Amino acid sequence: MTSSSPAEFDVEPTEVLEDRFVTLATMARALGDPIRLAVFTCIASASTEICVCDIVHSSGRSQATVSYHLKKLREAGLIVPRREGTWIWYRINEPAFNLFSEAIASLPSQMVTLRDPTCCSS
């Protein structure tokens, strides 16, 4: 192919890419904090759900600290709460986390290099 029209590349419209990148960046920011990553790992290691009190116990952090980081993980869409009386149970939002992990794993294959041969010589 000698033409370089946008239709030749397997690239989604800019708006779709921007939405996906915003979602992925939000999740990456949430997991980029060491305490949140530890809390997320604690939730992920539970067979189904885990109570906040167990997260507090296993993390060695205060209830307030754990609650703050749970809120950030929840806002990023990575975890799902379930209230039972005064207790809150958390589980991984598997569809969202699978989307995140698949997107990260596929980044190298999705990279499209658009090089203008008239721009510079290498």
Residue 79: CATH number of its domain: 1.10.10.10
**pLDDT, position 9:** 47
Tokens of 95: 């569809």
Residue 42, pLDDT score: 96
Token pair in block for residue 29: 């920011």
pLDDT of residue 80: 98
In a domain, 2, yes or no: no
Q: Judge whether 65 lies within some domain.
A: yes
For the entire predicted model, the pTM comes to 0.74
Answer whether residue 28 is part of any domain. Answer: yes
Domain of residue 38, residue span: 13-101
pLDDT at 19: 80
When divided into structural domains, the chain yields a total of 1
Domain annotation covers residue 92: yes
Helices (H), 1-122: 14-31, 34-45, 52-59, 63-75, 94-110
Token pair in block for residue 93: 């939002």
pLDDT tens, position by position, 61-117? 999 999 999 999 999 999 999 999 999 999 999 999 998 998 888 777 666 554 556
**Residue 90 domain-assigned (yes or no):** yes
Instruction: Tell me whether residue 43 is in a domain.
Output: yes
Higher pLDDT, 65 or 13: 65
The answer to whether position 114 is within a domain reads no
